Amino acid sequence: MSESQQLIKKELSKGTNLWKDGARRLRRRKLAMVCFGVIVIYFLLAGFIYLAEFFDWQIGPTLWAEQAGQSYAPPSSKNIFGTDIFGQSVLRKTLYGTKISITVALCASLISIVIGVPLGAVAGYFRGFVDEIIVWIYSTLSSVPYILLILAFAVVLRDKTFFGYKLTGITAVYLAIGLTSWVGICRLIRGEVIKHKDREYILAAISYGCSRRRIIFRHLLPNVFHLVIIDFSLRFVAFIHAEVILSFLGLGEAERPSWGAMINDARIELSRGVWWQMAAATVAIFFLSLALNIFGDALRDSLDPKLRIQ
């Protein structure tokens, strides 16, 4: 056996897995990696604000409520994005808004995954009556226009108390978004599980006498989980937009700055020529949305087996 043949054999015997291969492909995409960097910066900023609030650090974003200048002062070297009605720095508010948006999108994504993935897997694996019930539930839910559904949930959940915990501000927002947006991931996982359940590795697990729970959660879900990650990255943007819409409609965070609330404030300020609050919030949303979209597409291209073959 030649040296090259031995090398190929060695490589083949080592094998590769979906995640490593996907990461390798992703690293090759320069633009996607830049976008990943942007996303990381937003996440780090949100995390840093959480830490600063927890340890009571007096830094820029946590001091958003302080007066930084005159009311409606235009952008200047002192206040890059100008000030709002109370003379608060728009830059600080924009930075603080990152925390609200990331928190809402993250929590809403996790809620939708926690509901959608197990339901989809159970429906796809068991089929029959269980499947019909779950399909009926999500078909009913998806028949209601999305924004109206979120609005209805947000209005109902707002200021309600559950187990002694009052749902105010962003809690009501991410619960409303999370509870209404699990249908897509549920449908996706159900379809994928239906495809996988007759494959050899599942048949082998059945023949070994594995329990249904073990088959679903230890065998099936890990093999379809890349879809959850792709879906997560793409939905994250939609959830940020949903938070902005809810805040714009007065159903979001009222006490602290969020991008949606800033746009809502700016809407009426535009007529007096105060454009900077609108510009700051829009720019922040634009870069995060763009980065998440490009990175989400790249992630799908790298992890989806069908696209990889092509």
Helix (H) or strand (E) holding 23: helix 18-28
DSSP secondary structure letters along 66-122:
SB-SSTTPPP-SSSTT-B-TTSBBHHHHHHHHHHHHHHHHHHHHHHHHHHHHHHHHH
Residue 173 is a binding residue for other proteins (CB under 8 A): no
Which of the ranges 30-38, 224-232, 267-275, 297-305 carries the binding residues for other proteins, by CB under 8 A?
267-275
Q: How many CA atoms lie within 13 A of 290 on its CB side?
A: 11
Q: Does 264 bind other proteins (CB under 8 A)?
A: yes
Q: Which C-beta is closer to other proteins: that of 45 or that of 65? A: 65
# residues contacting other proteins (CB under 8 A): 17
Binding span for other proteins by CB under 8 A among 123-131, 137-145, 232-240, 265-273: 265-273
CB of 254 to other proteins, least distance (A): 5
| Selected binder of other proteins within 1, 12, 268, 309 (CB under 8 A) | 268
Q: How far apart are CA 100 and CA 172, in angstroms?
A: 12
Range in contact with other proteins (rule: CB under 8 A) among 5-13, 108-116, 140-148, 246-254? 246-254
Helix axes 146-157, 169-180, angle to 10 degrees: 140
Provide, rounded to whole angstroms, the least separation between the CB of residue 51 and other proteins: 23
As to burial, measured by CB atoms within 10 angstroms (0-12 exposed, 13-18 middle, 19+ buried), residue 275 is middle
The span from the CA of 120 to the CA of 131, in Å, is 9
271 binds other proteins, rule: CB under 8 A: yes
Q: Which is nearer to other proteins, 154 or 193 (CB)?
A: 154
| CA–CA dist 247, 263 (Å, integer) | 9
Among residues 31, 59, 85, 147, the one that binds other proteins under rule CB under 8 A:
85
Which of residues 11, 250, 290, 307 is near other proteins by CB under 8 A? 250
Is the CB of residue 111 less than 8 Å from the CB of residue 174?
yes
Binding residues for other proteins, rule: CB under 8 A, are 65, 71, 85-86, 159, 250-251, 254-255, 261, 264-265, 267-269, 271-272
